[in-house]
Chains A and B, each alone.
Chain A
Amino acid sequence: MSQDKHSLAGGTNYQVVGTRPPRHDAPDKLTGRALFGPDTKLPGMLYGKMVRSPHAHAHIRSIDTRRAASFPGVYAVVTAQDFRWNEDPGAKLDESAINFAYLQENMLAREKVLYVGHPVAAVAASSNHVAEEAAELVDVQYDVLPAVTDVGAAMRPDAPLLHEHLITQSLSKPGQRPSNVASHFQHVKGDPSQGFAQAEVIVEHEFTTSTVHQGYIEPQACTAWWGLDGNLKVWTTTQGAFGMRDQLAKLLHHPMSSILVIPTEVGGAFGGKLPIFIFLEAVAALLSRKANRPVKMIMTRAEVFLATNPTSGAYLKAKMGATREGRITAVQAELYFEAGAYPSASVIGYFGFAMGFMFAPYDLPHGQIDAYDVVVNKPRTAAYRAPGVTQVNFPAEQLIDELAVKLGMDPIAFRLKNVVHQGSELIDGTSHGSIGAEEVLRAAQSSGHYGSPLQGPHHGRGVAQGYWGNWGAHSSCAISVNGDGTVSLVSGSIDLSGTRTTVAMQAAEVLGLSLERIKSSVGDTDSIGYTEMSGGSRTTFATGIAAITAAQDVVSQMRGRAALLWGVEVQDVSFDQGIFTTHRGGGRQMTFAEVAERLAETGGPVTGRANVDPQGWGGAFGTHIVDVQVDPETGKVDILRYSVVQDVGKAVHPSYVEGQMQGGAVQGIGWALYEGYQYNARGDMLNPGFLDYKIPTALDVPMIETIMVEVPGPNHPFGVRGVGEIPIVPPPAALANAIYRATGVRVTDLPMTPVRILEAMGVI
Chain B
Amino acid sequence: MSAKTRVNAKINGEQVEFLCEPRQSLLECLRDILGLTGSKEGCNDGNCGACSVLLNGRVVNSCLVLGVEVQGQEVITVEGLADWRGLHPLQQAFLDHAALQCGYCIPGILIASKALLDRETNPSEERIRTWLAGNLCRCTGYDKIVRAVQDAAARLKQARREVNS
A interface residues (Cβ-Cβ under 8 A, vs B):
20, 22-23, 25-27, 29-36, 38-39, 41, 72-73, 126-130, 214-219, 265-270, 298, 300-301, 496-498, 653, 655-656, 658-659, 662-667, 689-691, 695, 697-699, 701, 703-704
Contact = CB atoms under 8 A, between A and B. Distances in A.
Interface in B64-113: 77-79, 81-82, 87, 91, 94-98, 100-107, 110
Given A662-B140, A698-B133, A698-B146, A497 B39 contact: no
B92 to A, nearest CB: 8
A500 to B, nearest CB: 12
A659 B79 contact: no
Contacts of A127: 1
Given A38-B41, A496-B102, A217 B138 contact: yes
A695 B138 contact: yes
B104 A26 contact: no
Given A31-B82, A267-B102, A698-B128, A659 B139 contact: yes
B23 A129 contact: yes
B132 A698 contact: yes
B50 interface: yes
Given A301-B43, A301-B44, 8 more contacts: A26-B103, A30-B106, A36-B37, A216-B102, A216-B138, A267-B42, A496-B101, A699-B132
A270 B102 CA distance: 11
Contacts of B105: 217, 267
Contacts of A214: 138
Contacts of B77: 32
Contacts of B138: 214-217, 268, 270, 663, 667, 695
Contacts of B87: 27, 30-31
B47 A691 contact: yes
Contacts of B43: 301, 689-690
Interface in B26-80: 28, 31-32, 35-45, 47-48, 50, 77-79
Contacts of A665: 141
B44 A703 contact: no
B125 to A, nearest CB: 8
Q: Quick one: which of B32, B94, B136 has the most chain A CB within 10 A? A: B136
Nearest to A31: B82
A interface, by DSSP: helix, strand, loop or mixed? loop
Contacts of B128: 698
Contacts of A27: 87, 91, 95
B137 interface: yes
Interface in B118-156: 125, 128-130, 132-147
Chain B: interface residue count, which band?
35 or more
B47 to A, nearest CB: 4
Nearest to B79: A32
Contacts of A268: 101-102, 104, 138-139
Contact of A23 (B95, B134, B136): B95
Nearest to A706: B143
A217 B137 contact: yes
B104 A218 contact: yes
Q: Quick one: which of B143, B144, B147 has the most chain A CB within 10 A? A: B143
B139 A265 contact: no
Contacts, number: 192
A597 B35 CA distance: 40
Contact of B103 (A34, A41, A73, A300): A34
A532 to B, nearest CB: 19
A655 B23 contact: no
A667 B142 CA distance: 11
Contact of A266 (B47, B97, B102): B102
B interface, by DSSP: helix, strand, loop or mixed? loop
Contacts of A659: 98, 101, 139-141, 144
Interface of B: 1, 21, 23-24, 28, 31-32, 35-45, 47-48, 50, 77-79, 81-82, 87, 91, 94-98, 100-107, 110, 125, 128-130, 132-147
A129 B79 CA distance: 26
A215 B31 CA distance: 23
A300 B101 CA distance: 22
A666 B142 contact: yes
Contacts of B82: 30-31
Nearest to B23: A129
Contacts of B91: 27, 30-31
A219 B23 contact: no
Given A659-B144, A695-B136, A704-B141, A22 B96 contact: yes
B136 A699 contact: no
Q: Quick one: which of B41, B104, B105 has the most chain A CB within 10 A? A: B104
A39 B37 contact: yes
Contacts of B39: 32
Nearest to B110: A30
A127 B95 CA distance: 36
B103 A265 contact: yes
B111 to A, nearest CB: 10
8 tightest A-B CB contacts, nearest first: A32-B38, A267-B104, A29-B103, A666-B141, A655-B98, A662-B141, A690-B47, A32-B78
Contacts of B24: 129
B104 A36 contact: yes
A129 to B, nearest CB: 6
Contacts of A298: 41
Contacts of A126: 1
Given A268-B104, A659-B101, A698-B133, A31 B79 contact: yes
B44 A300 contact: yes
Q: Quick one: which of A31, A496, A653, A656 has the most chain B CB within 10 A? A: A31
A26 B1 CA distance: 39
A137 to B, nearest CB: 15
Contacts of A695: 136, 138
A411 B122 CA distance: 41
Nearest to A218: B104
Contact of B104 (A217, A658, A690, A701): A217
B96 A217 contact: no
26 contacts: A22-B95, A22-B96, A23-B98, A30-B95, A31-B87, A32-B77, A32-B79, A32-B107, A214-B138, A217-B136, A217-B137, A265-B104, A268-B139, A269-B102, A301-B42, A301-B43, A498-B98, A658-B98, A662-B143, A667-B138, A689-B47, A697-B129, A698-B130, A698-B135, A701-B142, A703-B143
Given A663-B141, A665-B141, A698-B129, A656 B136 contact: no
Nearest to B45: A689
Q: Quick one: which of B39, B82, B98, B141 has the most chain A CB within 10 A? A: B141
Contacts of B94: 26, 30
Given A22-B95, A663-B101, A698-B135, A219 B42 contact: yes
B40 to A, nearest CB: 7
Contacts of B140: 659, 662-663, 666
Nearest to B49: A217
A527 B53 CA distance: 37
Contact of B1 (A41, A130, A497): A130
A129 B21 contact: yes
A140 B100 CA distance: 44
Nearest to A690: B47
A698 B142 contact: yes
Contacts of A496: 101-102
Contacts of A72: 1
B80 to A, nearest CB: 9
Given A216-B138, A689-B47, A33 B41 contact: no
A611 B162 CA distance: 53
Contacts of B98: 20, 23, 498, 653, 655-656, 658-659
B116 to A, nearest CB: 12
A642 B28 CA distance: 40
